[in-house]
Amino acid sequence: MGRNATEFPVPAPCPGAGATVPARDGWSAEPRATRVNPAADPVVAAGYRARGWWGDTTLRTRVGELAAARPEGAAYLTDRGTLSWAGYHHAAARVAAVLATTGLDRGDRVAVVLPDGPTVHAAFLGIEHAGLVTVGIGARAGDRELHHLVGLTGARVLVTAGGHQGREAVEVIGALRSAGAPVEHLVVVPDLGEDPDAPILLDGVPVERGAGAAAAPLGPDELFLLNSTSGTTGLPKCVMHTQNRWFYFHQLAREAADLRADDVFVGAVPAPFGFGLWTAHFTPTVLGVPTVVTARFEPDVTLDLIERHRATVLACVSTQFIMLLDAQVRRPRDLSSLRCMFTGGEAVPYDRAAAFEDATGALVLQFYGSNETGAVSRTTVSDSRERRLRTAGRVVDDMEVRLVDPTSGAATTGVGQPACRGPATCLGYWGDEEANARLLTPDGWMLMGDIVEIDAEGYLRVVGRTSDFVIRGGKNISAAAVEEEIGAHPAVAMAAAVAMPDPVFGERVCAYIELRPGLTLTLTGLQQHLRRRGVSKEWWPEHLVVVDELPRSSGGKVAKGELREDIRRRVEKGERPAGVAGGAA
């Protein structure tokens, strides 16, 4: 199913350096070379370059080319206006100039907590330009997640739009410092998509042009971004990304969908996450085409923008396209411009995907993979509907996919846990050797948390999971982590979190609890408890079932299978998540 397993070692963090670039937009051409930034193994990288999978381009240089060749061309389209390639380049350079005044060393981390839209992309690009590493944190992250990620990565600067979760930015950074995070500076960035020249504040003072020398910009094999991924227990892990893994992913996407120079993208997945990175930060830029983005996913707004801009490529998780389909039924738009929709992140329901194709004429495509592995398999426009909607596509040969027995780790065929190594994989986890040991097999293959079946023609189907996750709207939520937070409530004696089937989100978190004698607890009370603890809202249970005693297996563990079957029966009988009416993706 791929080349000989001994041909290349797995990519591993190792020294790398960016190159000096000509001065541009007022930048000093003299680099500030300091500590070494993690990068892919140079032997591995050379092999990938020899096969045309990796190259020497960076997003910074590509946006500079587009700004020079087509300055007025649209880079990002929103419901408020358009950011041109020149405006994008200029906005990113302004962010970089501000960061150059902070005294950060090359490879230092900058935490970014911004809503989706042109500004977050300009911030990411500016951080790359400044020779720094982005820590991408979702706009919906709770305090616990925010503090963990900033502390884990040692981010010395926090970039926000002025606040987070209803609090002013100064309160947020004050809480981070009180918790021991090493944050030295606060950068408040306005909506640069609306006005690329709007004032950027550094520690409360407007900064127009940095006086310090810039570090050498990051190279395509180096760590340029850290984002979070759910752990099986506890708080998120940080995945280390190079640009070249996403440039390679772009090649797969271009071939799968026959992407063109006149396409118009709609990116509905937020930028910090892998799906959002390639569909709004990388692929449209490589193609030089515009991307429609909004600060928050709203089905009616997104459909209106598809119609207005004659969008051709839609990228969204399954939950989002189901919400779009329902909104289209309520108020039809002309969606005939759509050629394809990339979806995934969770199970793709056949009937709804087929209905989307019938309603729009767009072919539904998907990649199977993870934030860590990148693409393991893919469907293409040449696949039949049955292949596209009932499988996760054909295994990507370049990724050298193999199956292992999840218990013994021995190689197997037909059904097993997928392991891979190849040009789409990440550099591993930042600062978590224990997690890295679980991620990789002893001989260096990267594991996924599913059980899959691969047929004789190389098509992959997911048939089970090795980890206890709830996948809500494409986001993995650790059941064990949710149980730990619920168990901290004084009324709870024992808790179990399981996936509740849902026609829109795929799954929601359902909590089964045993109460302490004489105490009571409502779903609202439990959610308020989690809010006070700073738990991200996606983790909150949306249905609560109080039982006298949780079922146990013969080994004394909670019998999760019985609980999953119980909630499935309840849903089939019409029981809905308590206290929830719809919800946002």
Radius of gyration of the chain (CA): 23
Half-sphere exposure of 18 (CA within 13 A, CB side): 35
pLDDT of residue 24: 33
Share the mean pLDDT of the chain. 88
Question: Average pLDDT of 464-481?
Answer: 80
Per-residue pLDDT reduced to its tens digit, 241-251: 999 999 999 99
Please determine, for residue 190, whether its predicted confidence score (pLDDT) is greater than 80.
yes
Inside any domain, residue 320: no
Please give the Cα distance from 62 to 69 (Å, whole number). Answer: 11
Domain limits for position 130: 61-70+83-219
Q: Would you say residue 148 lies in a domain?
A: yes
Give the highest mean pLDDT range of 9-18, 114-123, 440-449: 114-123
Residue 135 in domain: yes
Q: Apex CA 292: angle with CA 289 and CA 295, to 5°?
A: 140
Q: What are phi and psi of 479, to 5 degrees?
A: -60, -40
Does residue 19 lie within any of the structural domains? no
Angle 170-116-152 from CA coordinates, rounded to 5°: 55
pLDDT at 1 over 50: no
Mean pLDDT, range 431-437, rounded to an integer: 93
Q: What is the CATH number of the domain that holds 103?
A: 3.40.50.12780
Which residue, 219, 234, 257, sits at the end of a domain?
Answer: 219
Quote the number of domains for the chain: 2
- Which of 219, 273, 260 minimizes the C-alpha distance to 242? 219
Domain boundary residue among 160, 192, 219?
Answer: 219
Across the range 374-390, mean pLDDT stands at: 96
Per-residue pLDDT reduced to its tens digit, 491-528: 988 888 999 999 888 899 999 998 988 999 999 999 99
Residues 476 and 499: their CA atoms lie apart, in Å, by 11
Q: DSSP letters of 291-337?
A: EE--SS--HHHHHHHHHHHT--EEE--HHHHHHHHHHHHHS----TT
Q: Can you tell me the mean pLDDT for 452-477?
A: 86
136: in domain: yes
Question: Minimal CA–CA distance to 81: which of 333, 316, 292, 337?
Answer: 292
* Reported confidence tier of residue 5, pLDDT bands at 50, 70, 90: very low
Per residue in 263-283, pLDDT (tens digit) is 999 999 998 889 999 999 999
* Residue 555: CATH number of its domain: 3.30.300.30
Backbone angles phi and psi of 300, in degrees to 5:
-65, -40
- Residue 448 tokens, joined: 């996924």
Residue 360, Cβ density class (10 Å: 0-12 exposed, 13-18 middle, ≥19 buried)? buried
Tokens of 504: 């829109």
- Of the two residues 1 and 178, the one the predictor is more confident about is 178
Return the pLDDT at 551: 85
Residue 418 pLDDT: 96
Give the pLDDT score at 106. Answer: 95
pLDDT by residue (tens digit) across 10-62? 334 333 223 222 233 433 334 444 457 899 999 999 999 999 999 999 999 99
pLDDT recorded at residue 29: 34
Which of the two residues, 494 and 437, has the higher pLDDT score? 437
Supply φ then ψ for residue 505, to 5 degrees: -85, -5
Assess if residue 416 is contained within a domain.
no
Count of C-beta atoms within a 10 Å radius of residue 166: 6
Residue carrying the six token digits 């992140």: 345
Q: How confident is the model at residue 231 (pLDDT cuts 50, 70, 90)?
A: low
Q: Would you place residue 141 in the very low, low, confident or very high pLDDT band (cuts 50, 70, 90)?
A: confident
Q: How far is CA 393 from CA 232, 254, 376, 384, 474, in A?
A: 26, 15, 9, 10, 18
**What percent of the chain has a predicted confidence (pLDDT) above 70?**
89
CB 393 within 8 A of CB 368: yes
pLDDT, one tens digit per residue, over 335-372 is 999 999 999 776 788 888 999 999 999 999 999 999 99
In a domain, 408, yes or no: no
Last residue of a domain, one of 186, 219, 252: 219
